[in-house]
């Protein structure tokens, strides 16, 4: 079978399509024929800078895959051959708070990922996918959707009528927008593109702000909320946007700290003065993934897939993500 491998620090164009042995599942493991894998900003960073992550070579990238179970190892009872499953980002995080053990079980990082035709995963590291989703759609769930769910439902405890600020129209933010719509919360979303903002309005954004036209987008968000600020900000920008995110959030509101898209300086003063709860999020546990899938199935939510590439085109898919023209998710069909 074939797998894409990171074999050097040469970046996207140095990815190698290798012929490797089809893996056999050990005790408690399952083999999955991957039908689709989605790309996250983190996968792009991993391919571009494996040295920063101290990755051994070769390393198969990507955390998010969906496919069909083709073999099970000894002791596996809750997963059967033929089941449609998605990978859990962390192979060892069942429930509760994150731990060092969980962090050391990330696919496409500490462990080989799923940009391959067949992979072996822990039986406790896969979840059934909602019936109404194709594998291409289901492959978008493990990282971007679960992180957005953790921010909106887990950390944010968002209620109908709450206001939520989302930054940009990438994978995490568009799932967060869809979850706000599901809950009945009012989402304000920013983008550098009016065209993308128009699409965001079509799928339920309450208000939009072009952050390229309004570098002081926090002031715009304050105006849109009558000078109060939002209840929750889903912070995917990082150091370069955090201060304005805090500025856009109401007194005693919450900022879910997720992303590292931008660099910059952070002044903690406003976090203190506004009594902001600043909570870091690292994807989420399997239990939360199952809860999210139940909600997605009940709602009929369809992930927003911007573009799908063929398996041999994986490097082109990474370049597309890097180009940031996408709205929602970029997927590789395997
Ligand atoms: N902590 C975690 O567990 C976790 C999980 C998932 C993702 N993340 C992180 O979250 C971030 C987003 O991930 P993703 O996969 O959703 O990325 P993505 O799909 O690649 O999102 C890219 C989009 O981000 C927007 N963006 C870029 N700079 C921005 C800025 N200064 N202000 C507002 N928006 C900006 C742009 O939207 P427009 O084109 O609309 O301007 C761009 O298209 C990344 O840093 C990623 O590493 C963390």
What's the pLDDT tens digit per position in 196-228? 999 999 999 999 999 999 999 999 999 999 999
- What CATH number is associated with residue 216? 3.40.50.720
Counting from 1 in the atom list of ligand 1, the atom nearest the Cα of 89 is 3
Query: Is the C-beta atom of 256 inside 6 A of ligand 1?
Result: no
CA of 245 to the centre of ligand 1 (A): 14
> Total structural domains in the chain?
2
Across 70-93, average pLDDT: 98
Q: What percent of the chain has pLDDT over 70?
A: 100
Q: Are residues 52 and 149 in the same domain?
A: no
Q: Are residues 202 and 151 in the same domain?
A: yes
Q: Are residues 207 and 104 in the same domain?
A: no
pLDDT of the residue at 22: 97
Cross-strand partners of 210: 191
Among 160, 29, 155, 38, residue whose Cα is nearest residue 97: 155
Query: Is the C-beta atom of 199 inside 6 A of ligand 1?
Result: no
- What average pLDDT does the structure give for the chain? 98
pLDDT of the residue at 211: 98
Q: Are residues 7 and 135 in the same domain?
A: yes
297 inside domain: no
285 inside domain: no
Query: Is the C-beta atom of 141 inside 6 A of ligand 1?
Result: no
Q: How far apart are CA 98 and CA 283, in angstroms?
A: 9
Q: Are residues 71 and 193 in the same domain?
A: no
Q: Hey, which of 12, 39, 41, 165 would you mutate to test ligand 1's pocket, going by the most ligand atoms within 8 Å of its Cβ?
A: 41
296 inside domain: no
Query: Is the C-beta atom of 151 inside 6 A of ligand 1?
Result: no
Residues 6+ apart with CB under 8 A from 35: 66, 67, 68, 135, 136, 139, 333, 334
pTM: 0.98
CA of 1 to the centre of ligand 1 (A): 32
Q: Are residues 109 and 191 in the same domain?
A: no
Confidence of residue 244 (pLDDT cuts 50, 70, 90): very high
CA of 214 to the centre of ligand 1 (A): 18
Q: Are residues 81 and 165 in the same domain?
A: no
231 inside domain: yes
Q: Are residues 116 and 201 in the same domain?
A: no
Domain containing 225 equals 145-280
Report the 10 Å Cβ neighbour count for 306. Answer: 17
Contact 23, 118 (CB under 8 A): yes
pLDDT of the residue at 48: 98
- What CATH number is associated with residue 100? 3.90.180.10
Query: Is the C-beta atom of 258 inside 6 A of ligand 1?
Result: yes
Across 129-148, average pLDDT: 98
The pLDDT tens digits for 85-124 are: 999 999 999 999 999 999 999 999 999 999 999 999 999 9
268 inside domain: yes
C-alpha 52: how far from chain center: 20
290 inside domain: no
Q: How far apart are CA 296 and CA 6, in angstroms?
A: 33
Across 288-310, average pLDDT: 98
Q: How far apart are CA 315 and CA 311, in angstroms?
A: 9
CA of 330 to the centre of ligand 1 (A): 13
286 inside domain: no
Across 300-329, average pLDDT: 98
Task: Assign residue 267 a region (left: φ > 0; alpha: ψ between -120 and 50; beta: otherwise).
Answer: beta
Query: Is the C-beta atom of 147 inside 6 A of ligand 1?
Result: yes
Q: Are residues 269 and 170 in the same domain?
A: yes
């Amino acid at each position: 079978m074939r797998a894409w491998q990171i074999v050097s620090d040469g970046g996207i164009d140095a990815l190698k399509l290798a012929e490797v042995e089809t893996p056999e599942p050990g005790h408690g493991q399952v083999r999955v024929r991957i039908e689709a894998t989605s790309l996250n900003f983190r996968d792009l960073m991993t391919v571009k800078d494996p040295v920063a992550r101290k990755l051994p070579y070769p390393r198969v990238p990507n955390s998010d895959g969906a496919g069909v179970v083709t073999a099970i190892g000894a002791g596996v009872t809750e997963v059967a051959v033929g089941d449609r499953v998605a990978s859990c980002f962390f192979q060892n995080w069942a429930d509760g708070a994150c731990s060092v053990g969980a962090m050391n079980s990330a696919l496409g990082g500490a462990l080989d990922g799923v940009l391959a035709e067949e992979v072996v995963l822990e039986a406790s590291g896969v979840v059934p996918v909602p019936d109404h989703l194709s594998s291409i759609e289901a492959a978008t769930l493990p990282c971007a959707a679960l992180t957005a769910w953790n921010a909106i439902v887990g950390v944010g405890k968002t209620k109908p009528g709450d206001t939520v600020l989302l930054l940009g129209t990438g994978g995490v933010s568009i799932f967060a927008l869809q979850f706000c719509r599901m809950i009945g919360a009012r989402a304000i979303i920013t983008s550098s593109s009016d065209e993308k903002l128009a699409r965001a309005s079509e799928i339920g954004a309450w208000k939009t702000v072009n952050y390229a036209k309004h570098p002081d987008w926090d002031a715009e968000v304050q105006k849109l909320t009558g000078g109060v600020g939002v209840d929750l900000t889903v912070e995917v920008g990082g150091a370069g946007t955090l201060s304005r995110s805090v500025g856009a959030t109401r007194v005693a509101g919450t900022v879910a700290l997720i992303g590292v898209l931008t660099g910059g300086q952070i002044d903690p003063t406003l976090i203190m003065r506004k009594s902001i709860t600043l909570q870091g999020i690292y994807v989420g546990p399997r239990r939360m993934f199952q809860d999210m899938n139940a909600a997605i199935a009940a709602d009929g939510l369809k992930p927003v897939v911007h573009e799908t590439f063929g398996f041999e085109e994986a490097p082109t898919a990474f370049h597309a993500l890097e180009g940031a023209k996408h709205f929602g998710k970029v997927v590789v069909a395997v």
